[in-house]
């Protein structure tokens, strides 16, 4: 495997960043994960737009032009011979003597890109089975709209899910409303077949997959309302699912001790999952 690190393609096992990289010391950086499907990057434009926004919000300079970055992404995918999998991109504020304020303008942002294959059969199998979710209190900072590498609450929540024999954790705000998953956006389908997902104005990351599913639902003539939903509503829902670039549209069959629907992936989630790539933007 090959990784791109600050201008060089290096063997993955030797790819490293400096001990004084601010991403390492302060989580002072942002990232993107893009699906690779049939050798194509999925929704690259939207991921690059979100990356630019994350960088702008943290006042980190863009490490290179959009065109150059696109080249690096494709080149990393190509060099790793990824047909189906994902590409990971991380930009940090760079390497400087450890001190909280931003370093001077002479410090260049640091950039890392990796890519790896994912077995589509394995992904298909989990899609057919669905996943189980636990709920945990929301304890993240309010700026989760920024895709920052500061993911400790997400890591702890996800581990709690694993320890409970589940696959994902949904954060729940003090009023009982689900915000989102540790690395996914959360959705339910109510008894009337209406899709419900939290608005992406604040309190969650505006998932690219979420955006595509909003468009897909519209195209399919499904009813959709963007509003917060409670854990109690979710437990009673006809269907539930999560969305992300790595899980795509993944049915949820259990929330804590509540079985969703008949304990099998719902028909709407399954149909959206099958149609997802028809609407996602593929380029190469």
Which CB, 80 or 185, lies closer to ligand PLP?
Answer: 185
How many residues belong to the chain?
A: 284
Residues 161-180: x where in contact with ligand PLP by CB under 6 A, - otherwise, as a string: -------------------x
d(CA 115, CA 81) in angstroms, rounded, equals 9
Exactly one of 85, 130, 207, 266 binds ligand PLP (CB under 6 A); which one? 207
Do the beta carbons of residue 123 and residue 277 sit within 8 Å? no
Which CB, 4 or 276, lies closer to ligand PLP?
Answer: 276
Q: Is 198 in the site for ligand PLP (CB under 6 A)?
A: no
Q: Which of these segments, 5-13, 158-166, 204-212, 255-263, binds ligand PLP (CB under 6 A)?
A: 204-212
Task: Give which of 29, 95, 87 is closest to 57, Cα–Cα.
Answer: 29
Long-range contacts, stretch 136-143, CB < 8 angstroms, 24+ apart:
136/160, 136/169, 136/170, 136/171, 136/172, 137/171, 137/172, 137/174, 138/171, 138/172, 138/173, 138/174, 138/179, 139/171, 140/171, 142/202, 142/203, 143/57
Task: Give which of 247, 269, 283 is closest to 126, Cα–Cα.
Answer: 247
Which CB, 43 or 96, lies closer to ligand PLP?
Answer: 43
Residue 168: φ, ψ to 5°: -155, 155
Instruction: Tell the smallest beta-carbon distance from residue 133 to ligand PLP (Å).
Output: 13
Residues 28-67: x where in contact with ligand PLP by CB under 6 A, - otherwise, as a string: -----x----------------------------------
Q: Is 184 in the site for ligand PLP (CB under 6 A)?
A: yes
Q: Is 185 in the site for ligand PLP (CB under 6 A)?
A: yes
Instruction: Tell the smallest beta-carbon distance from residue 171 to ligand PLP (Å).
Output: 9
**What does the block give as tokens for 213?**
């599913």
Do the beta carbons of residue 205 and residue 251 sit within 8 Å? no
Q: Is 205 in the site for ligand PLP (CB under 6 A)?
A: yes
DSSP one-letter code for 13: G
Instruction: Tell the smallest beta-carbon distance from residue 186 to ligand PLP (Å).
Output: 9
Residues 78-137 that bind ligand PLP (CB under 6 A): none
Which CB, 23 or 94, lies closer to ligand PLP?
Answer: 23
HSE-CB at 212 with a 13 A cutoff on CA atoms is: 25
Number of residues engaging ligand PLP in binding (CB under 6 A): 13
Q: Is 147 a catalytic residue?
A: yes
Catalytic residues: 147
Question: Interface with ligand PLP by CB under 6 A: which residues?
Answer: 33, 180, 183-185, 205, 207-210, 243-245
């Amino acid at each position: 495997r090959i990784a791109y690190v600050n201008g060089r393609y290096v063997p993955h096992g030797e790819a490293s960043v400096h001990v004084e990289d601010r991403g390492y010391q302060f989580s002072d950086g942002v990232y993107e994960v893009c699906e690779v499907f049939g050798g194509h990057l999925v929704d690259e434009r939207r991921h690059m737009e979100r990356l630019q926004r994350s960088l702008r919000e943290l006042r980190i300079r863009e490490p290179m032009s959009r065109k150059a970055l696109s080249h690096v992404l494709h080149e990393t995918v190509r060099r790793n011979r990824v047909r189906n999998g994902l590409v990971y991109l991380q930009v940090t504020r760079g390497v400087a003597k450890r001190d909280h304020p931003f370093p001077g303008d002479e410090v260049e942002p640091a950039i890392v890109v990796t890519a790896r294959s994912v077995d589509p059969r394995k992904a298909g199998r989990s899609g057919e089975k669905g996943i189980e979710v636990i709920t945990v209190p929301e304890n993240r900072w309010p700026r989760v709209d920024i895709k920052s590498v500061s993911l400790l609450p997400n890591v702890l929540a996800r581990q709690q899910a694993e320890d409970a024999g589940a696959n994902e954790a949904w954060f729940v705000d003090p009023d009982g409303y689900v915000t989102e998953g540790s690395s996914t956006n959360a959705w339910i389908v109510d008894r009337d077949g209406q899709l419900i997902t939290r608005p992406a104005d604040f309190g969650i990351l505006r998932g690219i997959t979420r955006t595509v599913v909003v468009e897909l639902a519209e195209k399919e003539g499904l009813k959709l309302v963007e509003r917060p939903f409670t854990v109690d509503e979710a437990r009673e829902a006809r269907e539930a699912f999560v969305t992300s670039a790595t899980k795509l549209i993944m049915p949820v069959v259990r929330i804590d001790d509540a079985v969703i629907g008949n304990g099998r992936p719902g028909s709407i989630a399954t149909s959206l999952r099958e149609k997802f790539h028809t609407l996602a933007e593929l380029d190469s």
